[in-house]
Structure 1
């Protein structure tokens, strides 16, 4: 037997029950931050994200692994995992871009032509 709750329940969501994203930024006035938060924020936003910084460290570790003939399988697994995520993301981002171009074409064909002619 189906109750009214069974029919309507999927439409109701508790607070914070949807997608959750978290931006990783230094928190000002936080005792958790070692260093100067203003500098940490500038490094992350003006020089390199945490991912870019960690990527360089992983590259250096792999180079050292090869140079010293010291296997680092956990580092290799991390690098492979990052590559997989990036490859999957490229596919998703491309699909999003194609969908956006189709929406643009539907509402502004001249604008669409300008965009697709971009070098």
Structure 2
């Protein structure tokens, strides 16, 4: 039996009723962006994500730390935490891909062979 809520639940979302995500890329008219939003958007779209840009800054700080024999434990800890998250995400992605390949093989073995490369 359908209720009115069932019909409207795909249109109206109550707070915390669905996926909770936050986009961190700048939007063109965002008040948080200083300078030129158009330039910021192009840099992120065409050159490098914020993560890549920050990664380069962290690499440079670690290189300077090593070259000047100046310890930067907070930077080192941050880099380790980022690497741990990347490793965890890579592991999860690999498991997802393996599961998808297993499902593909079950329904389309020829397609599975094609995707596997042989």
TM-score computed with the length of structure 2 as normaliser = 0.82
Q: Give the corresponding residue for 2:63.
A: 63
Unpaired segments ≥5 residues, structure 1: 1-12
What's 1:48 paired with?
48
| Cα separation, 2, equivalents of 1:64 and 1:116 | 43
Q: Which runs of 4+ in 1 moved over 6 A?
A: none
CA RMSD, 1 decimal: 1.7
User: Structure 2 stretches of 5 or more lacking a match?
Assistant: 1-12
Q: Give 1:98's aligned residue.
A: 98
Q: 1-side partners of 2:94 and 2:41: how far apart?
A: 30
How many pairs does the alignment contain?
106
TM-score (norm 1): 0.81
Residue 79 of structure 1 corresponds to 79
Provide the rounded CA distance (Å) in 2 between the counterparts of 1:38 and 1:107.
46
